[in-house]
Amino acid sequence: MNQPKITKRISHSLTRREFVQRAAVATLAVPGVAPAIHAADKAGSRSAVIGSGEHTYECIHDWGHDQLPRAAHYGNASHGVAIDESGLIYITHYGDPGSIFVFDPDGSFVKSMGECHQVPGTEGHGKEARGHGIDIRKEGGQEFIYLAASDKTMDFAKMDLDGEIVWRKGRKELHEDTGQYDSKTAYRPTNVSFAPDGGYFLGDGYGGNLIHHYDRNDNYVRTIGSIGTGDGEFQTPHGQWLDQRDGQPKLVVADRANKRLQWFDMEGQHVKTLGGFLFPADIDIQGDLLMVPDLHCRVTLLDRDDNVIVHLGDDPVWREKALEGFKMRGERQKWQPGKFIHPHDACFDADGNIFVTEWVDTGRVTKLRKVS
């Protein structure tokens, strides 16, 4: 049988007809968001440039934000980002409507979806979402979205690109499969990633500090990890990804509160640990590059041997200001071009550009356009 194809990080150009049809969906800008920031990618304007050498990027902050319909908003955070095979960009959020906003490659709004991860909001605010982790994979010629909602009452979910649910796995189902979730074990999922044989990993990063491995037929295989600081233990395994750069597939985990990455083989055995991070939130890989969005104001690129190439946006003085009581996330007027507040997820497109989502009030997506 053909193996599923991981397509989160693949981008192709839309036809002109598709672009015109999808761009027509976009309406008025969201009140309170300065369009001048998004205008950084328009003729005659300048944007901050970060990085160095072949890893130099133009920062297009608030990418797509001024194309949201008037009633749409990111709420308290923009969380995850994935790209389907046609090049559409999917952003999970805490706002409304749905839990996912979809944009075309030029930043025009296409649609909202992911209503399965909405919760009733306060009066006057409609509904609010709990969109968190998102990845996309091609299976048997069709693409599917895997979602993790950051809420103890909600499920992991698999759906097609039209939003139709394939399956849902919540605390009850995980308890039946794993035996892990007794009354004393917390549950609050954060992310999903894929195995090379068609299986997948469900990460309960905010709850039990566990990662659950399932095979391609949705059968439970094993649970990886436990809470702690030793090798093979986690404190907030917030995100994970498949690392095949050396030809030997491994699961690499952003062990956030332990400020490190950990690698595991496909049997769930610990392989190695790498420190030197601040608060690593997730992982993406393109070629020999491994990328880590770090919640503490920077995005790190590592080479094939896991040596740091560059910390994009790194500025100790800015970081001290941004982390002071985490107040900066709600103080948009203080945000500076070329500076990150709280990178929560990031992914490459096919051209080597990077999309960064941040855990900030009102949400923010930054496109890092590769300059060299």
Give me the DSSP letters along 306-318: --EEEEET--HHH
Of 17 and 83, the one with more pLDDT: 83
If residue 23 lies in a helix (H) or strand (E), which one and from where to where?
helix 16-23
* pLDDT single digits (tens) 143-189: 999 999 999 999 999 999 999 999 999 999 999 999 999 888 899 99
d(CA 366, CA 338): 10
* Polymer length in residues for the chain: 372
pLDDT of residue 182: 86
What average pLDDT does this structure show over 80-104?
A: 97
d(CA 313, CA 292): 13
What average pLDDT does this structure show over 59-85?
A: 96
* pLDDT single digits (tens) 2-34: 445 554 444 333 443 343 344 333 333 333 333
* pLDDT single digits (tens) 213-270: 999 999 999 999 999 999 999 999 999 999 999 999 999 999 999 999 999 999 999 9
pTM: 0.88
Domain boundaries, the chain: 1-26+76-164
pLDDT of residue 23: 38
What average pLDDT does this structure show over 324-353?
A: 97
Asked if 263 and 243 touch (Cβ cutoff 8 Å), the reply is yes
**298 alpha carbon, distance to own chain's centre:** 15
pLDDT of residue 28: 31
Positive or negative, the CA dihedral 197, 250, 271, 178 is negative
Percent of the chain with pLDDT over 70: 86
Q: What angle do CA 266, 293, 19 make, to 5 degrees?
A: 100
pLDDT of residue 125: 60
pLDDT of residue 149: 96
d(CA 341, CA 366): 11
